[in-house]
Amino acid sequence: MLDPKLIQELINRAKAAYEQAYVPYSHYPVGSAALFSSGKIYSGCNVENASYGLTVCAERNAIFQAIARGERELKAIVIAVPSDVFPSPCGACRQVIREFAVDCPVILMNGQGHLRWTSLKVLLPEAFGPEFL
């Protein structure tokens, strides 16, 4: 179980990240904060591009920043949006999360501050991971 202070820090970092989102097309800001086994938290926001395929989701942005700094083991991730509807990671983000965690808590937060807890195994059952190669 995650420490409540750590959960709050993840939430705060994810909220701060969506404030920096670059979303001129969808107008749907998303922020994410990822906790790694080192105890460090990395945050990221979604960054859209006129060539839509080049858009990067908040989850992948946070994880890739961590990987660039030598992290390899994801322990938990928070995904936050300012809207009333809960966010949900896209399929590509679910697979990227799976690359660095067999399972971990995935905490979803809407703009009212309500939390929905799930896990990677729920979001991506029977997932394909690096150990299969």
Active site residues per annotation: 59
For residue 35, list its beta bridge partners. 41, 76
**Token representation of residue 104:** 């971990």
CB 79 within 8 A of CB 105: no
Helix (H, G, I), strand (E, B) or coil at 85: coil
CB 75 within 8 A of CB 64: no
